[in-house]
Amino acid sequence: MHASISLPVSPARQAEAARNARDARNDRVFGWVLKACALLVLASLIGAAASTLWGGSDAFRTFGWGFLTSDAWDPGNDRFGALVPVMGTVVTALIALLIAVPISFGIALFLTEIAPSWLRGPVSSAIELLAGIPSIIYGMWGLFIFAPFVAEHIKPWLMNTFSDAPPDGQISWLVQHVPWIAKFFSSDYPFFGAGVLTAGMVLAIMIIPFISSVMREVFQTVPTRLKESAYALGSSTWEVVWDIVLPYTRSAVIGGVFLGLGRALGETMAVAFVLGNTFKFTPSILETGSSIASTIANQFGEAEGLQKSALMALAFLLFVVTFIVLLIARLMLRQLGNREGR
């Protein structure tokens, strides 16, 4: 075998090699740190889901699948079910989306396409400020101002038009001819403003800033030449928006909508004040109800034993609901991607 020969290496080379080694090591350490940051998120998510599942295991064991389909919430006799809170959570969030998405779209459109440039700055900052208002403020506003307004102006009109027990006593043509519509607009408390619809409306106001600022950001990324070309071909503003801007930004817009939906699903204090907090199953949007987060906020402080476990189980179900919603969002995006042939 050869005897090893040590080649003469210049000191400059040596220094360079040392620096390279040091850089490589630093890169590796940096990579680990970044990985740890990302894993921390994953770990806290899994930890939170697992600990709520663990805390709720008593309730799941006791009630089995019946926990999902029961509308009971009876701490006195230890009977609990998640049906009403889960439905309240989903329905209020959907109402919020139905109101917030078109309005946010309009805001974003106005700010990026139509508004004079001196107006864009102030309105954008105002929207971002709205996003920073704590939810308890929306809750107090909902309780003191908005709920009475709904009771006085919105609810009577809705009940006169859509319910079979209208305050003015005249059952409308619509109700007489569409059999099931009255079910969605009945109310045990016609003079009471709080309820599912009111909560949905307050939530809508809370999530508009989120959805509209995402939309505004992504609308600005549309290349000017695309829009200019469309205008040059004689498109109206609406046609440019609908056929150029929206298709270009579709996935980001849907992402923004689901960001708002996520917030609406988990919102606690505002909903607790304007939802009425009852556990009666009803399809009506004018009736009172409960949501998962508001039930937990209401009862956790004083809960013991099986009730505490049922609240933990509810928290776990909120994870499940949010997960399903995100899954749907992913699937929708993939579907859209396929259709575009990307």
Partner 1 sequence: MLTSSKLRIATIVAASLFGMAAQATDITGAGSSFVYPVLSKWSATYAEKTGNKLNYQSVGSGAGVAQIKEGTIDFGASDAPMKAEDLQQFGLGQFPVVVGGIVPVVNIKGIEAGQLKLDGETLADIYLGKITNWNDPKIVALNAGLTIPSFKITVVHRSDGSGTSFNFTNYLSKVSNEWATKVKFGTAVEWPAGVGGKGNEGVSQYVRQIPGSIGYVEYAYATKNKITYAQLKNASGAWVQPNAKSFAAAAATADWKSSKDFNLIMTNAPGAEAWPITATTWVIMYKKAKNASHAKVAFDFFKWSLENGQEQAASLDYVALPDTLVKQIEGYWSAEFKN
Binding residues vs partner 1 (CB under 8 A)? 72-77, 79, 143-144, 147-148, 151, 189, 191-194, 272-273, 276-279, 288, 290, 294, 297-304, 307
Q: Which of 260, 306, 278, 299 is nearest to 63 (CA)?
A: 306
To the nearest whole angstrom, how small is the minimum distance from the Cβ of residue 129 to partner 1? 26
- Token pair for residue 231? 């205008």
| Residue 200 or 276 having the CB closest to partner 1 | 276
Please, which residue, 2 or 302, has the CB nearer to partner 1? 302
Residue 61 Cβ vs partner 1, minimum distance, rounded to whole Å: 21
| Beta bridge partners of residue 289, listed in sequence order | 276
Closest approach of Cβ 134 to partner 1, in Å? 16
Q: How far is the CB of 94 from partner 1 (least distance, A)?
A: 22
Query: Whose Cβ is closer to partner 1: residue 20's or residue 51's?
Result: 51
Q: Which residues, 6 or more positions from 303, have their beta carbon under 8 angstroms from its beta carbon?
A: 75, 311
Least distance from C-beta 15 to partner 1, angstroms?
A: 48
Buried b (16+ CB within 10 A) or exposed e, 259-278: bbbbbbbbbbbbbbbbbbbb
Complex with partner 1: residue 30 or 191, whichever CB lies closer: 191
Tell me the CA distances in angstroms from 113 to 5, 110, 134, 264, one per residue in order.
73, 6, 30, 28
Q: Which residues sit opposite 73 in a β-bridge?
A: 80
Kind and range of the H or E run holding 174: helix 173-177
Closest CB to partner 1 among 244 and 310? 310
* Smallest separation, CB 195 to partner 1 (Å): 9
What is the residue whose two structure tokens read 């440039």? 117
Q: Angle at CA 146, nearest 5°, toward 141 and 148?
A: 120
Paired sense of beta strands 73-74 and 79-80, if any = antiparallel
Closer Cβ to partner 1, 214 or 274, answer by number: 274
